[in-house]
Amino acid sequence: MIIFREIEIRNYRNIKHAELKQLRDLNIIIGPNNCGKTNLLEFIQSLEKLELGGYEYLCPECKEFRESDSDIMCLTLTHGHNDFYLKDRGTQMMVELSLDEEQIKQLVPRVLEKQKEKLKNASCRQISDSIVMEKLRDAYGLNAKHFSIFIHNDIIDEIKRTILYCPEQRLQNYKEKDFEEYIREKELRSSQKRKWIDFLNKIVDAKIDDEKYEKLIRKVDGEDFETPLSEQGSGVRSLACLAVDILFSDTKIVLIDEPELGLNPLVKQEFLNFLLEESKGRQIFIATQDPTFVNPILWKDRNDRVSVYFYSPIKEKFIKIDLKQNQEDPNTFAGYLPHTTSLKDIHLYVEGTSDVYIFQILLEKHLKEKWHKNWFEIMNKVGIYHLNGDNWSHFLYTIPKTPYRCAVILDGDKQKTTEKATAEEVCAKYNTITINASKFKFCKTIEDMKNTFGKGSHPVYCLKEDCIEKYFIHDFDCANSPRDYRKKRDGPREAEELKELPPEIMDIFEVILESVKDG
């Protein structure tokens, strides 16, 4: 279910600017510590405080129209001093909310048609479908300066009523209440308690068989053991009250901070499947730094229902990940951090998925020629990953620090001055930003790369040619590839037919393989 299509926020807490476009049923916000993930969720939660009013902040045209039709509403959202960016009340906080018109029509029938009819006579040209709110003059918080078709009492009440926030502090208590007290106050019926137990049995612990007075009954070796929720393992405590909130409420917007708390890998997978299923009937947002919750294998046939937003340290904002670039081979995508748990000796990073396939073929050719009998053993020590194509500069952040031995190989056009930063400029930026991440050294030569690899900073090297195709298709135009050329299809095939590897490619492989020669 999609209620919000887009959310844009400026100058809220530690968020200078966040723009979440093309929101879907399940929306995953992933990134490093203290980048604003939780604050995004808490801003959406703050929409529970939306109030109709604030007419004095309207633009002149909207104020004049308001005086002619008292049924037309304005909107206000009060915030405290600490909610302003850098706690500076003088900053210009702003939010724009784009709602799904068809879904709002289902939740609140017949309202939008009446709103459109009323507002069609308004003279203000800035009236739109979106709700735009700004901090105006000396106001504490946000006020709508212009009308919107979605600013209506019934719609605002529905949005306020339909938000459910599940906080991260839920291992010791839940929403500042004891676990048993929280469950007791829900006054669950017998059928609901059975459904709750079935959830915990399936998702968390198959030994959970029943409950009695909010105590869980586990069946061990044929005997029943009653245990209070507060004495359960972290996985049960993490999900017990959260499950009650989701299963037995009619809320349509669910916000979950750190869904991974206390869960082992298999439980995380089951819980993500549960959220995917629940997102059919409600819009779900999760904030996480755990790649287990960014698992394209689980939503392979539901790709159009998921959006992923990754915090880019280089841009200092959230960017939307192109899921198509990793759908076919997600285990090679560095953006989901699968390589940080890899046991490969060496990590080689390239731009896109097609580059991964090409470099795998070239590396195999090199090993068969140079290493003969044990080429496959050496091949298995090297992991090759891609950086989501044009988003390569953002995903350098995901490359693990030493003792992982990593190298980044980019097309030659990345060292040229364009409208985007060059590879050398990106490396310099990463070496100055204050986050816990790897450092990078831009290497102009293979020798420079050799002196850098495995010694703290990771080498970033640009090929001499503008694109990898130039090494096996001599007349290839990197800027304007032929219409019938498909890199994912034709690139690996052309690389496979290559009789002799170019010296530059061979030298790169020799640099990264130097450390495994003894193996």
- What pLDDT does 136 receive? 62
End-to-end CA distance of the chain: 53
Over 287-324, what HEC string results?
Answer: EECCHHHCCCCCCCCCHHHEEEEEEECCCCEEEECCHH
What token pair was written down for 262? 């206390």
Question: How far is the C-alpha of 50 from the C-alpha of 187, rounded, in Å?
Answer: 29
Question: How far is the C-alpha of 340 from the C-alpha of 337, rounded, in Å?
Answer: 6
**pLDDT for 188-226, tens place per residue?**
999 999 999 999 999 999 999 999 988 999 998 889 999
- What pLDDT does 336 receive? 60
- What pLDDT does 505 receive? 95
Q: Which of 21, 29, 23, 2 is nearest to 283 (CA)?
A: 2
**pLDDT for 365-397, tens place per residue?**
999 888 767 888 888 889 999 888 888 998 888
Helix (H/G/I), strand (E/B), else coil: 162: coil
- What pLDDT does 330 receive? 64
What token pair was written down for 443? 């290497």
- What pLDDT does 442 receive? 96
- What pLDDT does 285 receive? 98
- Order of all β-strands in the sheet with 405-410: 382-386, 346-350, 405-410, 458-462, 440-443
Specify whether the CB–CB gap between 26 and 276 falls below 8 A. yes
Specify whether the CB–CB gap between 228 and 180 falls below 8 A. yes
Q: Which of 218, 184, 225 is nearest to 204 (CA)?
A: 218
- What pLDDT does 465 receive? 94
Eight-class DSSP state of 392: H
CA 217 to chain centre: 37
Helix (H/G/I), strand (E/B), else coil: 467: coil
DSSP lists the bridge partners of residue 323 as none
User: Which residue in this structure is represented by tokens 């999900």?
Assistant: 239
As separate numbers, helices (DSSP H) first and strands (DSSP E) second, the chain gives: 16, 21
- What pLDDT does 137 receive? 55
User: Which residue in this structure is represented by tokens 């748990």?
Assistant: 341
Q: Which of 439, 425, 360 is nearest to 396 (CA)?
A: 439
Q: Which of 238, 188, 235 is nearest to 214 (CA)?
A: 188
Tell me which residues of the chain have a pLDDT lower than 70: 136-139, 325-331, 334-341, 372, 417-419, 517-519
Rounded to 5 degrees, what are φ and ψ at 453? Answer: -60, 130
- What pLDDT does 326 receive? 57
What is the pTM (predicted TM-score) of this model?
A: 0.89
Question: How far is the C-alpha of 296 from the C-alpha of 285, rounded, in Å?
Answer: 16
